[in-house]
Amino acid sequence: MTTFLVGMTLILNIILQSVMLPGFKVLGASPNTALAIVVVIALSRGRIYGGVVGLISGLIMDVMFSMTIGISSLILFIIGYVTGIAADSFAKENAVNPVIFTLLGTVFYNALFAMFMYFASRNVTLEYAVKSILSFELILNGIAALLIYMLFRKIFSRPQIRFNKR
């Protein structure tokens, strides 16, 4: 994965998330593809790359969609960094790992976001926080993570040439 391709992926993700996904709401939730991209990149490239991509994509999301700048970037940085640390212990070729880490990241993202909004004196109730944590967004993010993982595996895989000895 080169830096240019990751940058283009983030730009395409912002276009996708701002133009197409708001119309694709299922039970009031839409997938957070930036979170799924951060998890997939962190699992394949490690903690530094995952943290930096999380920070950049979160900052872009904050500028585009949020009233407070820095919360999503901090949360996505933490998710990318921790997922990158855990990536050393798991197989990179397994398609279940991005789904599991994206589900855990979604719960962590929504819980931390609700906590930050509560401390920023926004009107956040416990009911809203629990609904956002246990929403249909979990399933949508899991599906998005699987699709993004399969797409990245096709795009960013290097061909391997093996010469077998008889």
Q: For residue 162, is it within any domain?
A: no
Q: How many domains does the chain have?
A: 1
Q: Is 27 part of a structural domain of the chain?
A: no
| Neighbouring-strand partners of residue 29 | 26
Domain span at residue 49 reads 32-156
Sequence-distant (6+) residues with CB within 8 A of 47 are: 80, 81, 82, 83, 84, 85, 87
| 76: in domain | yes
pLDDT at 15 over 90: no
Q: Read off the pLDDT of each residue in 47-64 and give the average, rounded to a whole number.
A: 90
Give the C-alpha separation, 103 to 143, whole Å. 10
pTM across the whole model: 0.84
pLDDT at 102: 92
66 lies in some domain: yes
Within a domain: residue 52? yes
Element housing 36 (H / E): helix 33-45
C-beta separation of 94 from 149 below 8 A = no
Structure tokens at 30: 């839409």
Q: What is the pLDDT of residues 72-91, one digit of tens each?
A: 899 999 999 999 998 888 87
User: Does residue 13 sit within a domain?
Assistant: no
Alpha carbons 71 and 55: distance in angstroms, whole number: 10
The model's pLDDT over 133-160, given as tens digits with 9 standing for 90+, comes to 677 888 888 988 999 999 888 877 766 7
Burial code (b: 16+ CB inside 10 Å, e: under 16) for 86-102 equals bbeeeeeeeeebbbebb
| Burial zone of 15 (CB within 10 Å; 0-12 exposed, 13-18 middle, 19+ buried) | exposed
More confident residue, 91 or 12: 12
Task: Point out the least confidently predicted range of 12-16, 60-64, 92-96.
Answer: 92-96
Position 25 in a domain: no
